[in-house]
């Protein structure tokens, strides 16, 4: 509508100009990359199937890159479509050749030769290039220590570039590259002494250290490079701007930090000793009990890997374990709980596992229905450790603080207060070592995550040497193991 102060002619001209603008915008100008994504209702992402990017676990798709792009797709309000490339060259060649815009999200570095074909986002993770060796060999400390060693790196990566650059200074340096393997395979090959050295990103070492007890970091070949997402070079900047806004928010909201901790924080959380022990016990102890975990889990409709994770937290899979408080056995049942669960001999691992499975299933059922579905397992675990009465006390304190008693994140903040008089004096069941169940649940989550990754049916990459799909940490034919299920030892 025109304002009265404007003459009718001017008004006509103005509305013509407006409709011309609308026409130009609506029909003449092609939609931006971002608009096309919205029109199609799909965010198409190409990644690689690897533990540090994208893989399957108990709940389906997972992985650092996957989770990050999932959040981005959600923010855009579109569906996520994931495709995987076999190697990095293929990944870049797929950019710009698809029917619609594509993001490459696969731990990529913006190396100069890639800039011709791709535009890169702001960084989301700082990593370094690390030389990895077997602990029983002398530690390589500087570039000249690489001479005369068998070195294998991933083709098309910054590590290949670094090695190539190093050859300028050390012409006698020799190395091989392959696009038939993943970083995890390279780490395993060092662990199994099939090669002397490899060079991979620090985040890949952090994620996999726990599965390969013999690998060590020699030295850092290149201090810091940044991982970024990439889009086709001829895409306009609309998508890139949106990605950068998203990554900035992800940094500010703590999302990036949470993902980094979850995927790359195993060693930070477990410590080096803990990480090595877990990897060793996975090989040497778990196979003896796995069948019982699986059977008990099936009978009580819980995930066997969760039971195994509980067993590791309780006893490191040792059937004769005894706590300072006299609680005993692989699943650490108190005398009272053992009796209630029909366990006659707590030191019998099969009975202990049965009892633990029955107890956790019972606790799941006894939890108030108001507790959020996704959080029920963490509440059940906490009450396995501290008892339902104390957990209820903590939930009441949580509500009194104006927090949500049905949310694990809120209750776990309050639980440690059960050990402080000013708080426990207000509760029905009184004093409890409230920090213990928090630690207990955190550790079990960590072990559970690792176990689900290790036991997923198909891990990326096929072994270069033996031609078999390899599950890190558990060796087919290991004399100590009595593996029973093809999901753990993949033929
Ligand atoms: C748990 C019981 C719960 C019991 C709580 O204690 O034991 N769980 C099992 O037996 C599986 O049933 O709850 S109650 O029945 O409602 O009272 C509270 O009494 C066991 C815990 C105790 C803990 N480990 C399983 O997680 C333990 O041994 N703590 C001591 C650790 S240390 O040696 O002092 O470091």
Instruction: Compute the average pLDDT of residues 225-239.
Output: 93
Q: How far is the CA of 429 from the centre of ligand 1 (A)?
A: 15
Handedness of CA 423, 427, 430, 433 (dihedral sign): negative
31 pLDDT exceeds 90?
Answer: yes
Atom of ligand 1 nearest to the CA of 333: 10
What is the per-residue pLDDT for 388?
97
56 vs 216: which has the higher pLDDT: 216
**What 3-state class would DSSP assign to 409?**
helix
Q: How far is the CA of 334 from the centre of ligand 1 (A)?
A: 6
Ligand 1 site residues (CB inside 6 A) read 314, 323-325, 327, 332-334, 336-337, 359, 384-389
11 pLDDT exceeds 50?
Answer: no
* CA 167/CA 162 separation, integer angstroms: 9
Residue nearest to atom 1 of ligand 1 (CA): 385
Instruction: Compute the average pLDDT of residues 442-455.
Output: 84
Q: How far is the CA of 325 from the centre of ligand 1 (A)?
A: 9
* CA 461/CA 177 separation, integer angstroms: 15
Any idea which of 200-204, 277-281, 328-332 has the lowest mean pLDDT?
277-281
Kindly report the backbone phi and psi dihedral angles of residue 229, in degrees, each rounded to the nearest multiple of 5, phi listed first. Answer: -85, 160
State the DSSP string of 103-167.
EEEEEEE--GGGTTTEEE---SEEEEEEEEEETTSPPP-SGGGGTTS-EEEETTSHHHHHHHHHH
Q: Which two tokens stand for residue 106?
A: 């696969």
Taking the CB of residue 447, how many other CB atoms lie within 10 A of it? 23
Residues 171-184: tens digit of each pLDDT: 999 999 998 888 88
Per the prediction, the chain carries an average pLDDT of 85
Q: How far is the CA of 427 from the centre of ligand 1 (A)?
A: 19
* CA 131/CA 403 separation, integer angstroms: 47
What is the per-residue pLDDT for 85?
92
What is the per-residue pLDDT for 57?
66
Task: Indicate the burial class of 384 (C-beta count within 10 angstroms; 0-12, 13-18, 19 or more).
Answer: buried
**Residues near 186 by Cβ (< 8 Å), separated by ≥ 6?**
132, 152, 153, 154, 195, 198, 200
Helix axes 435-454, 376-386, angle to 10 degrees: 130
28 pLDDT exceeds 90?
Answer: no
Percent of the chain residues topping a pLDDT of 70: 85
What is the per-residue pLDDT for 181?
86
Band (265; pLDDT cuts 50, 70, 90): confident
Helix (H) or strand (E) segment spanning residue 221: strand 215-232
Contact between 117 and 96 under an 8 Å Cβ cutoff? The reply is yes
What is the per-residue pLDDT for 267?
67
Residue with tokens 């408080």: 325
254 phi-psi bin (left φ>0, alpha ψ -120 to 50, beta other): left
**Residues near 233 by Cβ (< 8 Å), separated by ≥ 6?**
95, 96, 115, 116, 117, 118, 119
What is the per-residue pLDDT for 458?
41
484 pLDDT exceeds 50?
Answer: no
* CA 308/CA 449 separation, integer angstroms: 11
Atom of ligand 1 nearest to the CA of 384: 8
End-to-end, the C-alpha distance of the chain in Å comes to 74
Which of 302, 316, 322, 327 best tests ligand 1's pocket when mutated (most atoms within 8 Å of CB)? 327
* CA 164/CA 183 separation, integer angstroms: 18
Residue nearest to atom 17 of ligand 1 (CA): 387
What is the per-residue pLDDT for 58?
56
Residue nearest to atom 14 of ligand 1 (CA): 387
Residue nearest to atom 23 of ligand 1 (CA): 385
Which of 334, 355, 387 best tests ligand 1's pocket when mutated (most atoms within 8 Å of CB)? 334
Helix (H) or strand (E) segment spanning residue 385: helix 376-386
Catalytic positions: 314
Atom of ligand 1 nearest to the CA of 324: 33
Q: Which two tokens stand for residue 49?
A: 């199937």
Band (27; pLDDT cuts 50, 70, 90): low
What is the per-residue pLDDT for 103?
96
Percent of the chain residues topping a pLDDT of 90: 62
326 pLDDT exceeds 90?
Answer: no
pTM for this one? 0.65
Atom of ligand 1 nearest to the CA of 355: 11
- DSSP-assigned letter for residue 415: G
15 vs 454: which has the higher pLDDT: 454
Residues 67-108: tens digit of each pLDDT: 999 999 999 999 999 999 988 888 998 987 888 899 999 999
Q: How far is the CA of 303 from the centre of ligand 1 (A)?
A: 21
Residue nearest to atom 25 of ligand 1 (CA): 385
461 pLDDT exceeds 80?
Answer: no
Q: Are strands 42-47 and 79-84 parallel, antiparallel or unpaired?
A: parallel
Residues 360-407: tens digit of each pLDDT: 999 999 999 999 988 999 999 999 999 999 999 999 999 999 999 999
Instruction: Compute the average pLDDT of residues 428-445.
Output: 93
Residue nearest to atom 22 of ligand 1 (CA): 385
Atom of ligand 1 nearest to the CA of 326: 28
Rounded to 10 degrees, the C-alpha dihedral 170/176/181/184 comes to -40
12 pLDDT exceeds 80?
Answer: no
Band (324; pLDDT cuts 50, 70, 90): confident
Instruction: Compute the average pLDDT of residues 21-46.
Output: 81
Q: How far is the CA of 335 from the centre of ligand 1 (A)?
A: 10
**What 3-state class would DSSP assign to 217?**
strand
Contact between 452 and 61 under an 8 Å Cβ cutoff? The reply is no
What is the per-residue pLDDT for 486?
23
482 pLDDT exceeds 50?
Answer: no
CA angle 126, 260, 413 (to 5 degrees): 140
Q: How far is the CA of 225 from the centre of ligand 1 (A)?
A: 46
């Amino acid at each position: 509508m025109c304002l009265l102060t404007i003459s009718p002619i001017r008004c006509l001209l103005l509305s013509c100009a407006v409709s011309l603008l609308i026409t130009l915008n609506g029909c003449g100008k092609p939609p931006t990359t971002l608009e096309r994504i919205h029109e199609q209702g799909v965010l198409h992402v190409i990644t690689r199937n690897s533990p540090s990017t994208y893989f399957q676990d108990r709940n389906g798709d997972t992985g650092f890159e996957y989770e990050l792009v999932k959040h981005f797709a959600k923010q855009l309000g579109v569906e996520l479509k994931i495709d995987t490339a076999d190697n990095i060259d293929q990944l870049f060649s797929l950019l710009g050749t698809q029917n619609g815009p594509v993001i490459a999200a696969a731990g990529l570095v913006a190396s100069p030769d890639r800039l011709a074909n791709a535009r890169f986002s702001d960084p989301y993770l700082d990593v370094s290039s690390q030389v990895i060796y077997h602990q029983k060999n002398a530690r390589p400390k500087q570039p000249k220590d690489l001479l005369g060693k068998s070195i294998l790196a991933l083709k098309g990566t910054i590590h290949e570039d670094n090695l190539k650059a190093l050859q300028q200074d050390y012409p006698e340096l020799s190395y091989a590259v392959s696009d038939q393997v993943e970083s995890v395979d390279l780490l395993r090959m060092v662990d199994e002494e099939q090669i002397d050295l490899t060079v991979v990103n620090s985040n890949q070492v952090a994620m996999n250290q726990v599965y390969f007890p013999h690998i060590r970091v020699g030295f850092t070949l290149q201090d810091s490079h940044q991982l970024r997402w990439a889009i086709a070079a001829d895409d306009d900047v609309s998508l890139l701007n949106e990605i950068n806004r998203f990554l900035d928010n992800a940094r500010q909201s703590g999302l990036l930090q949470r993902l980094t901790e979850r995927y790359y924080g195993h060693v930070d959380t477990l410590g080096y000793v803990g990480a090595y022990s877990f990897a060793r016990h996975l090989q040497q102890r778990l196979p003896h009990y796995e069948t019982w975990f699986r059977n008990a889990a099936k009978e009580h409709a819980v995930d066997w890997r969760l039971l195994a994770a509980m067993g590791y937290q309780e006893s490191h899979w040792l059937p004769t374990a005894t706590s300072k408080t006299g609680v005993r056995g692989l699943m650490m049942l108190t005398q009272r709980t053992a009796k209630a669960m029909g366990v006659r001999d707590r030191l019998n691992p099969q009975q202990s596992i049965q009892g633990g499975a029955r107890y956790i299933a019972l606790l799941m059922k006894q939890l108030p229905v108001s507790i959020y579905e996704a959080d029920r397992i963490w509440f059940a675990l906490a009450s396995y450790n501290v008892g339902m009465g104390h957990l209820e006390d903590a939930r009441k304190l949580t509500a009194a603080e104006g927090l949500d008693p049905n949310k694990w994140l809120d209750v776990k903040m309050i639980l440690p207060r059960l050990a402080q008089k000013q708080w426990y004096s207000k509760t029905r069941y009184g004093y409890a070592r409230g920090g213990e169940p928090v630690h207990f649940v955190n550790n079990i989550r960590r072990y559970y995550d690792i176990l689900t990754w290790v036991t997923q049916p198909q891990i990326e990459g096929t072994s270069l040497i033996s031609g078999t799909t390899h599950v890190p940490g558990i060796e087919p034919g290991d004399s100590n193991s009595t593996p029973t299920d093809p999901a753990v030892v993949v033929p």
